[in-house]
Amino acid sequence: MACTFCHSENQRWFPSEINIHPPHGLKSIDEPSVWAFPALLVCQDCGFTEFVLSGNELRNLNEGYPPYEEASGRRFGT
């Protein structure tokens, strides 16, 4: 499988621990964050990283946070 961003074949899997914070800055400072433990597929050439959240992690995000329109369609790191 090639990197989605640069099409390199030079990718590696890494275990991870991610703490996902509410997307509304200081307005949501008291809201709880969501912990996730996905495996990360990291391109060793450009750094683009992909992961998939489990059903429980995704459900926690969908139930806990309203949509964050500002980030829609953005590609981070570009």
Q: What pLDDT, on a 0 to 100 scale, did the predictor assign at position 7?
A: 97
Take residue 28 and report the two structure tokens written for it: 């949501």
Q: For the residues 9-38, what does the mean pLDDT come to?
A: 87
Q: What pLDDT, on a 0 to 100 scale, did the predictor assign at position 23?
A: 74
Take residue 46 and report the two structure tokens written for it: 């450009």
- Structure letter (DSSP) for residue 36: E
Of 1, 4, 15, residue with least CA distance to 47: 4
**pLDDT over 80 at 70, yes or no:** no
Angstrom distances, CA of residue 65 to CA of 20, 22, 29, 61, 73? 11, 6, 12, 6, 18
Q: What pLDDT, on a 0 to 100 scale, did the predictor assign at position 74?
A: 46
Q: What is the pTM of this model?
A: 0.70
Distance from chain centroid for Cα 44? 18
**pLDDT over 70 at 72, yes or no:** no
